[in-house]
């Protein structure tokens, strides 16, 4: 599959896809300003899977929006050394007027990729998310889990375009609580799928969630953010943990998260 | 769960969770279900009319016999005059509608996307929608004289505001997540408008088009009724006007029915199928 090969080649240009330097973000001005992020230092290595956890209001989504370029930081700087970061939102947010394949082709179309190339690419990505042959379905004909997989394939299509300025740079996938609106069993299956796709494509992933268990299961590294303002509190290396060690790690992160939350009780 | 069994569980979930598509009703049944009710309604209307006429509540010159009106229309059909009547009116309406579209789309885009424009002329355009465009007939005649330009002017003022407003409300109703997703997928300003905003606004825009057509047809008939001149050619409005001049009530009734038939016909033949296709493709089917 060419998607795999291209991504692997990108990995050889060993620069960190994203680096935060003392990033701050405030909404509003003056005394009524709400500080969402404060002095955040964070970096994601090539091909690394990083999970961000934190209670609501910790600026997880803000942080992701900054990386995605949907918002600008008010302090510090973000260094991005990847092709355009791909984003998967909590909702699949597929374009209802396009088929599944049409949705995946959309970023390529906007980048001016010729039709035949788009077709092939969309078919490949559909296979990757195990939706081969369903490219002609409309979003309303798909289940929630299938829609989210199409959204993932679409996001990958937006990042694996190596014709533009991002050519040869490592790719980066941003995910904002992508599975939290799904039922438990679908979520479980999709977590497995995401790991498989991560291994297949070698992309770096910055994954936001409020579910500690999910973070420990998926991530190599878990980063805990405090709330209002969001700061990096602690990080855990959870790479390859299984069984009792995984459970212990979940308990530890959970305890730290609770501590952060109870510090807000006044 | 080992990764290799994930595939089969996933396939099972996909099969179970996929929304069930309703079985389609057979074609003859659908036709009967759709076509029969309006035919019965029309038949009932004619029966009531016939009874009222037979009871002679009103003199003949006020309420004509259904047969007389039928004969009047039949005569137009056999002499082929009906074609020229339709042609004169419909081609004017279509041209007027097309010009309106060319003006209304940029206008709607500007109102929806530029705050100053929205605040400045947004209320003006909404207000124009409630101003009957017939009110422009006298001014149009004084400005342009009794010719096609006067008529098009009136049609434009009827159709442009409703098409523009339809586009604006269509754009306003686009879920904010879609342009955000577009931006994340690399859409620039124009790419976002072309590939995300416009298609997303299409259902609302189609509603505006439908209303715009109704307004342009309505304004055209008003203009034709008032601005009659031999130079203008005879459209349905003039035909109706002639019926009045000749005190021929059956001709007046025939005129009203033909105007009605064109308005409804275009809606049923052009706009309804268009709207249904668009809505069905997005899973927004409605009972019709």
Q: What is the pLDDT of residue A68?
A: 83
Given this model, what pLDDT does residue A43 score? 85
Nearest to B6 among A142, A144, A189 (CB): A189
A221-239 pLDDT per residue, tens: 888 888 777 788 888 888 8
Distance CA A202, CA A207 (A): 15
CB–CB contact B185 A139 (8 Å) = no
Cα–Cα dist A128/A1, whole Å:
9
Which residues contact residue B194 at a Cβ distance below 8 angstroms, ignoring those fewer than 6 apart?
none
Helix (H) or strand (E) holding A79: strand A75-80
Q: Which residue has the tokens 């885009």?
A: B109
Instruction: Enumerate the residues of chain B whose CB falls inside 8 A of the CB of residue A139.
Output: 283
Interface of A with B (CB under 8 A): 68-70, 84-87, 89, 91, 93, 95-98, 106-107, 109-111, 130, 138-146, 154-155, 158, 161, 185-186, 188-189, 192-193, 195-196
> What pLDDT is recorded for position A11?
43
Nearest C-alpha of chain B: how many angstroms from A266?
Answer: 35
Q: Which residues of chain A are within 8 Å of residue B284 when distances are taken between CB atoms?
A: 96
Q: CA A185, CA A163: separation in Å to the nearest integer?
A: 38
| CATH H superfamily, domain B62-281 | MetI-like (1.10.3720.10)
Q: Inspect the interface and report whether the beta carbons of A140 and B196 lie closer than 8 Å.
A: no
Q: Do A86 and A155 contact (CB within 8 A), yes or no?
A: yes
**A182 DSSP 8-state letter:** S
Who's near B257: CB < 8 A, 6+ residues apart? B69, B73
Q: What per-residue confidence (pLDDT) applies to B226?
A: 85
Asked whether the CA dihedral A147, A150, A156, A157 is positive or negative, the reply is negative
Q: Are B222 and B133 in contact (CB under 8 A)?
A: yes
Give the residue among A2, A167, A163 at the shortest CA–CA distance from A81: A167
Contact A107 B199 (CB under 8 A): no
**Residue of chain B with shortest Cα separation from A65:** B184
- Give the pairing type, strands A221-225 and A232-237: antiparallel
What ipTM did this prediction achieve?
0.78
| B17 to A145: CB separation less than 8 angstroms, yes or no | yes
* Helix/strand/coil for B96: helix
Q: Name the minimum distance, in Å, from the CA of B113 to any CA of chain A.
A: 18
The string of pLDDT tens digits covering residues A15-39 is 777 788 777 777 777 777 777 788 8
Cis peptide before A229 (omega within 30 of 0): yes
Q: Residue A192 and residue B19: Cβ atoms within 8 Å?
A: no
**What residue has token string 């309106």?**
B100
Local structure of A134: helix, strand or coil: coil
Give A15 to chain B, closest Cα distance, Å.
22
Q: Is B115 helix (H, G, I), strand (E, B) or coil?
A: helix
- Among A97, A110, A186, select the one facing B282 at the smallest CB separation: A97
Query: For chain A, what are the domain ranges?
Result: 2-83+168-262, 95-161
What is the domain partition of chain B in residue ranges?
Answer: 26-57, 62-281
Is B187 within 8 Å of A96 when comparing Cβ atoms?
A: no
User: How far off is chain B from A97, nearest CA to CA, in Å?
Assistant: 5
Nearest CA in chain A to B280: A97
Tokens of A143: 């289940």
How far apart are the C-alpha atoms of B267 and A65, rounded to whole Å?
A: 45
Largest separation between any pair of C-alpha atoms in chain B = 89
* Minimal Cβ distance to A97: which of B13, B175, B281: B281
Best to test chain B binding among A70, A108, A113, A143 (most B CBs inside 10 Å): A143
**Long-range contacts of range B225-234, CB-CB < 8 Å, 24 or more positions apart?**
B226/B134, B226/B137, B227/B137, B227/B140, B227/B141, B227/B146, B227/B150, B227/B151, B229/B146, B229/B147, B231/B146, B231/B147, B232/B146, B232/B147, B232/B148, B232/B151, B233/B88, B234/B84, B234/B85, B234/B88
Q: Across the interface, do B177 and A185 touch by the CB < 8 Å criterion?
A: no
Tens of each residue's pLDDT in chain B, 288 residues: 455 566 777 788 877 777 776 667 777 888 888 888 888 999 999 999 999 988 888 888 888 888 989 998 999 899 988 899 999 899 999 999 999 999 999 999 899 888 898 899 888 888 888 888 888 888 998 998 888 888 899 999 989 999 999 899 989 888 888 988 888 888 888 888 889 988 999 888 898 899 899 989 988 998 888 887 777 778 899 999 999 999 899 999 999 999 999 988 998 899 888 988 888 888 877 544
Enumerate residue ranges in chain A where pLDDT < 70.
1-14, 57-58, 160-170, 266
Report helix, strand or coil for A234. Answer: strand
Q: Which CATH superfamily is domain A2-83+168-262 in?
A: P-loop containing nucleotide triphosphate hydrolases (3.40.50.300)
Question: CA of A141, closest CA in chain B: separation in Å?
Answer: 6
For B61-95, the pLDDT digits (tens) are 888 888 989 998 999 899 988 899 999 899 999 99
In terms of C-beta density within 10 A (0-12 exposed, 13-18 middle, 19 or more buried), how is residue A156 classed? buried
Q: Where are the alpha helices (DSSP H) in chain B?
A: 3-17, 27-55, 66-79, 81-113, 115-130, 137-144, 148-172, 177-184, 189-191, 198-226, 236-245, 249-266, 272-281
Check if the beta carbon of residue A58 is closer than 8 Å to that of residue A66: no
A153, B22 contact by CB (below 8 A): no
Interface touch A188/B1, C-beta < 8 Å? yes
Q: Among residues A226, A205, A202, A159, which one has the least CA distance to residue A44?
A: A205
Phi, psi of A167, rounded to the nearest 5 degrees: -60, 135
Q: How far is A264 from chain B (nearest CA, A)?
A: 31
Token pair in block for residue B47: 């029966």
**Can you tell me the distance from the alpha carbon of A35 to that of A191, in angstroms, rounded to the nearest whole number?**
32
The residues of B whose Cβ lies within 8 A of any Cβ of A are 1, 3, 6-7, 9-11, 13-14, 17-19, 21, 175, 177-178, 180-188, 191, 195-196, 199-200, 202, 278, 281-284
pLDDT at position B98, please? 93
Q: Which residues pair with A80 in a beta bridge?
A: A18
Q: To probe the interface with B, which of A66, A106, A139, A175 has the most B CB atoms within 10 Å?
A: A106
Question: Which two structure tokens, joined as six digits, stand for B38?
Answer: 């309006």
């Amino acid at each position: 599959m060419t998607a795999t090969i291209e991504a692997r080649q990108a990995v050889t240009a060993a620069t960190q896809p994203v680096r935060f330097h003392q990033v701050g973000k405030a909404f509003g001005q003056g005394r009524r300003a709400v500080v969402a992020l404060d002095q955040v230092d964070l970096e994601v290595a090539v091909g690394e899977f990083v999970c961000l956890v934190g209670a609501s209001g910790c600026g997880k989504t803000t942080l992701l929006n900054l990386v995605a370029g949907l918002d600008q930081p008010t302090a510090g700087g973000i260094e991005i050394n990847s092709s355009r970061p791909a984003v998967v939102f909590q909702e699949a947010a597929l374009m209802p007027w396009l088929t599944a394949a049409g949705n995946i082709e959309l970023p390529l179309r906007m980048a001016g990729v010729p039709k035949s190339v788009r077709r092939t690419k969309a078919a490949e990505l559909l296979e990757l998310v195990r939706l081969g042959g369903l490219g002609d379905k409309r979003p309303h004909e798909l289940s929630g889990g299938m829609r989210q997989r199409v959204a993932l394939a679409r996001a990958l299509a937006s990042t694996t375009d190596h014709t533009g300025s991002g050519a040869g740079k490592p790719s980066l996938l941003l995910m904002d609580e992508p599975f939290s609106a799904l039922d438990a069993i679908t979520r479980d299956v999709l977590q497995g799928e995401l790991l498989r796709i991560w291994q297949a494509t070698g992309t770096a992933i910055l994954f936001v969630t409020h579910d500690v268990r999910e973070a420990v299961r998926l991530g190599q590294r878990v980063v805990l953010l405090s709330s209002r303002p969001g700061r990096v509190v602690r990080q855990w290396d959870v790479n390859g943990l299984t069984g009792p060690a995984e459970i212990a790690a979940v308990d530890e992160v959970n305890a730290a998260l609770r501590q952060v939350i109870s510090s807000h009780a006044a | 769960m080992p990764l290799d069994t994930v595939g089969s569980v996933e396939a099972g979930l996909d099969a179970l969770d996929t929304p069930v598509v309703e079985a389609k009703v057979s074609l003859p049944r659908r036709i009967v279900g759709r076509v029969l009710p309006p035919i019965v309604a029309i038949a009932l209307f004619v029966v009531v009319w016939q009874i009222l006429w037979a009871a002679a509540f009103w003199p003949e010159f006020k309420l004509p016999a259904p047969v007389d009106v039928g004969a009047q229309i039949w005569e137009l059909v056999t002499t082929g005059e009906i074609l020229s009547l339709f042609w004169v009116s419909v081609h004017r309406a279509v041209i007027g509608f097309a010009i309106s579209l060319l003006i209304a789309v940029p206008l709607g885009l500007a109102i929806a996307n530029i705050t100053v424009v929205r605040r400045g002329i947004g209320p003006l355009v909404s207000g124009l929608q409630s101003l009957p465009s017939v009110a422009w007939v006298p001014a149009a005649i004084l400005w342009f004289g009794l010719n096609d330009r006067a008529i098009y002017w009136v049609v434009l003022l009827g159709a442009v505001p409703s098409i523009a407003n339809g586009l604006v409300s269509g754009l306003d109703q686009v879920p904010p997540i879609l342009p955000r997703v577009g931006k994340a997928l690399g859409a620039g300003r124009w790419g976002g408008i072309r590939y995300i905003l416009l298609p997303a606004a299409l259902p609302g825009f189609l509603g505006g088009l439908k209303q715009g057509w109704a307004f342009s047809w309505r304004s055209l008939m008003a203009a034709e009724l008032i601005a009659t001149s031999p130079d203008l050619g005879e459209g349905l409005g003039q035909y109706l006007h002639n019926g009045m001049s000749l005190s021929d009530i059956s001709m007046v009734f025939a005129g009203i029915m033909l105007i009605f038939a064109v308005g409804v016909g275009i809606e049923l033949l052009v706009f309804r199928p268009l709207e249904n296709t668009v809505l069905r493709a997005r899973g927004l089917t409605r009972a019709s």
